[in-house]
Amino acid sequence: MANDKTRKFSSIIVDGVAQAPSRAMLHAVGFKDSDFKKPQVGIASTWSMVTPCNMHINKLAEDAGRGADQAGGKSIIFNTITVSDGISMGTPGMRYSLVSREVIADSIETVAGAQGFDGVVAIGGCDKNMPGCMIGLSRLNRPSIFVYGGTIKPGAKRRDIVSVFEAVGGHAAGKVSDAELKEVEDTAIPGPGSCGGMYTANTMASAIEALGMSLPNSSAQEAVSVDKEEDCVRAGEAVMNLIEKDIKPSDIMTRKSFENAITVVIAIGGSTNAVLHLLAMAYSANVKLELDDFTRIGAKVPVLADVKPSGKYLMSELIEIGGIQPLMKVLLDVGLLHGDCMTVTGKTMAENLADVDPYPEGQDIIHKLEDPIKKDSHLVVLYGNLAPTGAVAKISGKEGLHFSGNARVFESEETALAAILDGTVVKDDVIVIRHEGPVGGPGMREMLSPTGAIMGKGMGKDVALITDGRFSGGSHGFVVGHVTPEAAVGGPIAIIETGDGITIDAESRTLNLNVSQEEIETRLSKWKAPPPKETRGVLAKYAKLVSSASEGAVTDKF
C-alpha cells in the first residue's frame, strides 16, 4: 500500500538523508526501519481522568491504533485536552467549556500538521471535544475519521446527570430531602461514558455520523462495550482505506451532508448546542451554513425521538433498538436525507443504509412519521427587537408555543440561580441572564443549573428564561439562548430593565421587548461597553477573537 500518494505528508518528515534526525527521534518512540515506509496515522485521544465521559478513551485509542497498524499503517497516539461541563456547571470554570473546543481544534491541527501524519483518527467523548475534533480535522483536510467514545450506562432508577441538577431544584422547593439528594448524587453516574440522554454529546455524535464522518452506528454504542472496541478497530482500518483512496473531509463535509446532519439532529430532538457547533464546523470546512438553514430544514422535518431531556428514554435504550441507523433509513426513503453524500466508509450514505433493518415492532422510542412528537423542528430560530441577528430556542411544544411576562434581569448565572432557589423568581417572570455570551462571559456558559432548578421546583411552565449564553443539552422548559448581538457588544439584551414586558412566540418565531422603538434607541444611545472581565490568558484572548454565536462562535474569522 505504501507509496508517495499514501505517504505524501509523512515522507517529507522521514525520507532522505536530511531527515536522519527525525528518524532517530522516532526510533526512540518505537519506530522500526520498516515503519518509515508506512503511512503514518495520528490517533487524537481526548483521554483524561477529568471526567467520566473520557476516562476510558486511552483504551479506545489503542484499539484504533491497532486497527490502523493491522491495515498496514503506523499509528501514533497523541493527546489533547478536555474539560467537564457537568463538573464546572454553574461555576466560573464553565467559562472555559466552549473555549476548550477551540483549544482542542487548534491542538489537533498543530500536532498533525507538525508531525506529518497522512491520516487522523480522532476520538471524543464529551460535548466540546467532538466538534473540536471535527474542526481540527476539517482544517487539516487529510483523510480522517471521528470515533465517538460512547454513552454512559443508566444510573439507578434510570438516572443521569440531569437528575442531579433537577434534584437540587427539588431540594430548594422542599420536595427532595437531604437523604434523597445524596442518594441521587451517589447513583446517577455509574461509570465511563457521555451523559445518557439526548444531550449535546449524544446529539453531536449522531450529527457527525449523519455528516458521514463516523462509521455507521458509531453514535449508538455504550462506552464500555465490545461494540465500541470493534468500532475503534474498524475506524483504524477505515482511515487506511481513506488514505489509499485519498478521500478527505472536504469530500465528505459538504453542504448536503450538513443538511443531513441538521435533519437528524431535528428528528432526534437534539441539543441547541448543535446549532452552534454545526455552524462552526461548516465554517472550518468552507461550507456556507446559516441560522436560517435550520429554520428552512426544520419546516419539513418532524421530531420523532421520545428521548430525554423532554422525553422519556435514554440513549442506552435507543441503542437497544438499533440506534439512529433505522431512523436515517426512514428519513432517506421519504426524501429527507441526501443519499448521494460520500462517507468515511468510502461509500455513499444510501449505500451504507441499503441493508439496515427497521426498528422492532412495538417500540415507542422512535415515532412513525405519521405520528410525530412534533410535526416540525423543536429548534426554533427567533428574531425581533431583542435578537436582531437571531436567538435559538428549544421548544418541544410541551411547554407551550407562546410566553409573555415581565423581565427579571440578572447580570450573571449565579445571581439568577440564587433568585430561583430562594423564591425571588415567581410565576410569569421572564428571567434574563446577560453578560454570559462568548465575549461577555467570556466563554458562553451553559445554563443547566438555572434551568435544572426551574424544572426541579416545578416551574417549567410558569417562567421563561432568555440569555446571551447557551444551554446544556439537558436543559428543557421555555428557554431561549444564543441571543445576538450579546450584551457585551451592545445588543438590545443589554438595555432590558426589570419589569419590562417580553414576548416569546415560537409560531411567529419572534423575541420582542414590549417597549417602543424610540425607548429602545434612547437606552442604546446611553449604553457603555463594560470593562473586560479578563485582561490576560486564554479567556481574554478568546474574548478578543471570538465571533458571534449566530456565526458559530469561531475564533479564526478575521
Establish whether 257 is a catalytic residue.
no
pTM of the entire structure? 0.96
pLDDT digits (tens, 9 = 90+) for 445-454: 999 889 989 9
Q: Which of 472, 475, 547, 548 is catalytic?
A: 472
Rounded Cα distance, 516 and 524, in Å: 12
Tell me the mean pLDDT in the region 377-389.
97
What's the pLDDT band for 478 if we cut at 50, 70, 90? confident
Q: Residues 326-348: pLDDT tens digits? A: 999 999 999 999 999 999 999 99
**pLDDT, average across residues 67-71:** 98
Whether residue 395 is predicted with pLDDT greater than 90 in this model: the reply is no
Q: Which 3 state secondary structure label does DSSP give 450?
A: helix
Residue 412's pLDDT is 95
pLDDT tens per residue, range 252-273: 999 999 999 999 999 999 999 9
Instruction: Please name the residue that has the C-alpha cell 425581533.
Output: 384
The predicted structure's pLDDT at residue 2: 64
Residue 135 has pLDDT above 60, yes or no: yes
Between the CA of residue 338 and those of 114, 204, 252, 275, 417, what are the distances in Å? Answer: 36, 19, 12, 19, 43
Strand order in the sheet with 119-124: 74-79, 40-45, 119-124, 144-148
CA atoms within 13 A on the CB side of 48: 17
CB 346 within 8 A of CB 242: yes
Task: Residue 7: count other Cβ atoms within 10 Å of its Cβ.
Answer: 23
DSSP for 256-304?
Answer: HHHHHHHHHHHHTT--THHHHHHHHHHHHTT----HHHHHHHHTT--B-
Question: With 0-12 CB in 10 A as exposed, 13-18 as middle and 19+ as buried, what is 190?
Answer: middle
Average confidence (pLDDT) over 417-443:
97
Residue 98: per-residue pLDDT? 97
Task: Please write the tens of the pLDDT for every residue from 6-32.
Answer: 999 999 999 999 999 999 999 999 999
Name the band, by pLDDT with cuts 50, 70 and 90, for residue 165.
confident
pLDDT at 227: 97
